[in-house]
Structures are given as C-alpha cells and as structure tokens.
Chains A and B, each alone.
Chain A
C-alpha cells in the first residue's frame, strides 16, 4: 500500500481509544511517517475529505444522525476498522439495552424532552460492514500499530483469538482464580490487553469482550462455587462489553 490516507471517527464513546493512537509516543513519528492522517479531530483541526484507505471508528451508534453518519463513512472508506468496546459491542452505554429507555431518561436528565436517542446502543457492525475489529476498553495501542503495519505490508494482522488465560500463561502470571479464588472473566475473554489485571492479582473485567465460542455458562457455575450470588454473577458480564451477545445472554440467565 502506498502512503495510506487514514481517518479516525468518533461516535458515542469516551475518546479513550482515539487517545491510544496518540499514546503511541515512541512509535508516533514512525506512524505519521508511514501514513497520511486525513481526518483525526482529536489530533488536528485540519480536515480532509475522502476517500480514505483506512477508517478507524470509535464509539457506538446511539442516535439516528449517527446511524446515517456511519453509512457515509463506510461509503468513503476502503477499510473500516472498529476500535474498542463501544464500536465493537455497544460499550458501557449498552447497559441501557436491557432497560426501558424512557425510565432511564426520566431518572437521569432534568429535561428528558431534550434527549433524542435510539432505544439501544449498538455496535458499528449492526449498521455497516466492518473489515476488522480491534477490541478493548480501551483498545491496545500495540494492536493499532500492528493493524497499520500489517495493512502497509499486505499481510494478515496478528490479532489474538485466544482467551486471556493464554496471555496469562505466556506471561507467567499465576491464575488468580485457581490460586486465590478471585472471580475472573479471563477464560471467556479475548486476549490482547497485555495481561493488565491478573498480573497485579485482580480478576479480568472482560474489557476485550468474549472470545469466540465463550462458554460463559460453565464459568458462571464456577463463580457460583466460589461464593458469588446470581446478582454478582450477572454484574460481572454487565460491564464495558455488556452488549456483546455472549455476555448479554449469560447476564440475562442470572436475572
């Protein structure tokens, strides 16, 4: 690929994933040397029109306007890559998907009439074709760089398809669930974060979302044996990736 034109887009999100690009620090000069940044409002107010070779999309679709905007971005992009839990699974804001929207709006906002949003917070893939998904809350900057480097070289990006457990074991982290009885979503969560929580003795929060074929029911049964009640088990799955199908289903089983 000749110097590709890159765009970064924001939907309903906290900006953390876009910040991961700016967090590249040491690699940032290499990155801007290898690509042309055509649209990245968090980095520059200079805005160039499409088409774009790669569009990185952060955030979920929560308004009718955003649902239209993503169509336009798709049409202007050769590759569309979602970055982070909001764009790939609806994000923490997808917690509202299992509640009545009107009740939530009434409870939160002093002027509910001003709030015009869709009933649910949905991932980008429910609206347009997505070429690749980078997981995480936030996304891993290593994966962002890997994706760009792979696209430039014309090779398949090396994105983990294994569970967090594989990452723990490769890192030599002692299993917090087996050795300490700490509830951990690692066995059903996709690897890629860099083993952040288990290596400091905490259970995995599932930031990278469910691994393919996640057997959440079997894990929940073990959580029950570790002493968690159904409310606590459901809460484990209702987090940054609460909108991911495997977690939606498992949380609902414990309501």
Chain B
C-alpha cells in the first residue's frame, strides 16, 4: 500500500485547506483536490453501476444462506438493504433492520481472505515426457477488482495478511492485491462480538482504503483515500457533505465504538508470555472442538498445507496449496508424531501466536477485533473472555 502512504501528507494538506473552499470552487477543481474531503451521495447504486459498466469485477457482501458473504455482484440490486445481524458467541442471525439502511449488518462468516488467499489453489502441474518431466506454473486470472463494503477490522486484516505474504515473497498474493481496489465502510453499529475499538482498528477505517463510506440518516458520506480511489469516481459530480452530515457520521462511529462490550486487555501480548503453564489452557481445551473454524474465519490466519496429486497413468502430477489450521493434529506432525498432541497445546499455540508472537514476527497484533472467532465457534468459545482470564492469572 505504498501509494497510500505516499498520499498521507497530501491528505492532511487537503483536509487543512478544504474548509476554506466553497462547494462551488471544489466542483470546479480537479478530482484529486478532493482527497480526504467528505463528499455526499444518496445511495451506492450509481457507483456500483458505473464500476460494473466500466468492467470492474465488484465483490460485495451479499445474502448467501442466511448470512452476508462477500461474493461477485452482477447487479446493484443484489446489494442487500434493510438487514441487520444479531451475533453472540456461537450464534449468528440475520434479521430485518432499518429498511433504509445499506450497511447496518456488520461482518459475516467470511472476510475477504478467501478471495485474496484462496482456500485451495493449484501451484503447478507437471507432465512426464521422454526427457523427464516438464513443470508448468499455474497461471491465474485475477480481473481488476473492487472490494466493496470492507469493514475497518477487515481492512486492517488485509494489511496484516499482506505483510505476511510480502515477507513470504508470495507473488500470487501481491498480484491479486495490486489489482484490487478497496471501498471501505465505516461502522455505525457494532455487533455484540465486535471489539475493534480495543484493537485500534475501527470502527473508523484508518489507512489502506481507496474510498471510504459512512452511512448517515439520509445517505452516504464518501472520502477518497488514494489516487486509485480518485480514479474510481467522477468526484466533480458529487456535492460536498455539509458540516452537520460530517458531524452526524462522526457521532455514529463514536457511538459504535462506545457500544462495544468486549475489549482485549491492552497488555495481552506481554501477559500471554507469562502464562504458558496456566491451568486455563486445559480448561478451554475441554470446551474446544479443535474443529478449525476459528482459524478458517479469522481474516489474518494464513497457514496452508501443500499436497501432491498424480494421475492414475503416472503421466501428470499437480501440486496444490490449501488452508490448514494449527488446530489439526497433522499440522505439527514431525517424525514420530504431532508436536502438539494435546488440544490445550494447540489452543495455546493459536492464541499466543495471534495475540502475542505475531508482534515479534510481523510487527503488529494478529487480531483486528472482528469477533468472527467468537461468533463462528460452534460452541461459542470467547477469545476475549479467555484472554482476559489469562491476563488476570486465572
């Protein structure tokens, strides 16, 4: 996201001078002059129509099997409106919400991970020939893509996973990410399982977006976060938001933060290094199904396994990569057996890597506070409650 970093100073400058300009003057200026300013639009349809007709692949949270799941949008009418979610440990329900609202329901079972970091992909194939065999790397199609309605926690998760794959030198991830634009949505509501405020990732998107939307009573505020974002719209056609609308948006985001009932202890990274022998690990393991759901729904978990397939006639071979999980026994299999035989050891590995060792390895927490591991744990194990108990020495 170097293009965004390079734009930071520019954003500040435009914010500083924007108040002195009239809306008329802004409409006559170049689009990039409006970076960082709040613009107003009535609804998202026009934007989506423009992008679809310009040939972008738009991926947005759509209604799938009773949940909101990022999928390919073919028609702006597919964007759900008037739904909200009720989330608690081990439970998720979509319900009717305020009929006029587009973005009342927050994060669903999947982040954007399954798009940027696919669950299964072929790495290469090989064909036997007279001289030996010939290896063909898998070519991947990744059309110019817009991720629409990315929540701040997921925006942070994309940045963290991007850092993991940058260090790993994964060109496929880099290519997907480079051809993807991100339209964030700031949260005006939190689910019961959200704790982004305590992870400093939300409910307002900080960096890494090309455009950001905030829903208010009579429409949407739009901010441009990058030159790529500028290129996505004809900003001159959009009026500036009024001061009252900007204040309303800020108030909604603050209220969403204030409503969060879960908070990760701020010193959790250090505390977890001191509690390796806590009886709490066995206690949580007695409830843990080691079913791998938490790692699959976590937007930053990145581990994969590699497996080979061969044809019956022995002429073809393929190497595949697929999601793996530190909760599966085979994950830590070395000669003689798995290194982490006990479920307690596997839970400890996951939590300490996510909340503590990620800092030393990648320079940030591996958790962005999206709350998916809490909601989508089939037995409702609460990461925050476990972390708090461990931090207190329980």
Contacts and interface: CB of A to CB of B under 8 A. Distances in A.
A49 interface: no
A215 B288 contact: yes
Given A149-B310, A149-B311, A166-B328, A219 B289 contact: yes
A169 B66 CA distance: 15
Interface stretch (B173-181, B212-220, B373-381): B373-381
Nearest to A30: B312
Contact of A169 (B290, B296, B375, B380): B296
A27 B312 contact: yes
A201 B65 CA distance: 8
Interface in A150-180: 150, 152-153, 155, 158, 161-163, 165-166, 169-175, 177-180
Given A152-B314, A158-B307, A178-B91, A221 B379 contact: yes
Contact of A170 (B314, B322, B380): B322
Contacts of A110: none
A176 to B, nearest CB: 8
B378 A187 contact: yes
A179 B93 contact: yes
B119 to A, nearest CB: 4
Given A174-B67, A219-B378, A153 B314 contact: yes
A38 interface: no
Given A152-B314, A213-B343, A222-B379, A162 B66 contact: no
A30 B313 contact: yes
A27 B329 CA distance: 32
Contacts of A136: none
A179 B313 contact: no
| Residue of B288, B292, B308 ringed by the most chain A CB atoms within 10 A | B292
A188 interface: yes
A249 interface: no
A54 to B, nearest CB: 13
Contacts of B313: 30, 33-34
B296 A166 contact: yes
A155 B328 contact: no
Contact of A149 (B64, B119, B293, B312): B312
Contacts of A105: none
A161 B289 contact: no
Interface string A125-161: 0000000000000000000011011101101001001
A109 to B, nearest CB: 41
Binding site of A, secondary structure by majority: helix, strand, loop or mixed?
helix
B312 A178 contact: no
A31 B313 CA distance: 8
Contact of B292 (A30, A145, A165, A212): A165
A181 B91 contact: yes
Contacts of B145: none
B331 to A, nearest CB: 9
A161 B312 contact: no
A184 B378 CA distance: 9
Interface string B364-388: 0000000000011111100000000
Nearest to B67: A174
Contacts of A31: 312
B66 A174 contact: yes
A123 interface: no
B286 interface: yes
Given A155-B310, A161-B330, A174 B109 contact: yes
Interface residues of A, number: 44
Contact of B312 (A145, A179, A181, A218): A145
B325 interface: yes
A189 to B, nearest CB: 9
Most buried by B among A27, A158, A221: A158
A169 B328 CA distance: 14
Contacts of A180: 66
B90 interface: yes
Contact of B110 (A172, A213, A219): A172
A8 B202 CA distance: 59
A9 B185 CA distance: 60
A186 interface: yes
Nearest to A181: B91
Contacts of B328: 161-162, 166
Given A30-B311, A162-B292, A178 B65 contact: no
Contacts of A149: 309-312
A140 to B, nearest CB: 14
Nearest to B289: A187
User: Which 10 residue pairs of A and B lie closest in terms of their CB atoms, listed nearest first?
Assistant: A169-B296, A187-B291, A170-B119, A174-B65, A165-B291, A34-B312, A187-B289, A153-B310, A163-B291, A30-B312
Interface of B: 64-67, 69, 90-93, 109-110, 114, 119-120, 286-293, 296-297, 307-314, 317, 322-323, 325, 328-330, 343, 375-380
Interface of A: 27, 30-31, 33-34, 145-146, 148-150, 152-153, 155, 158, 161-163, 165-166, 169-175, 177-181, 184, 186-188, 201, 212-213, 215, 217-219, 221-222
Given A152-B314, A174-B66, 8 more contacts: A34-B314, A149-B309, A149-B312, A153-B314, A158-B307, A169-B296, A184-B378, A217-B286
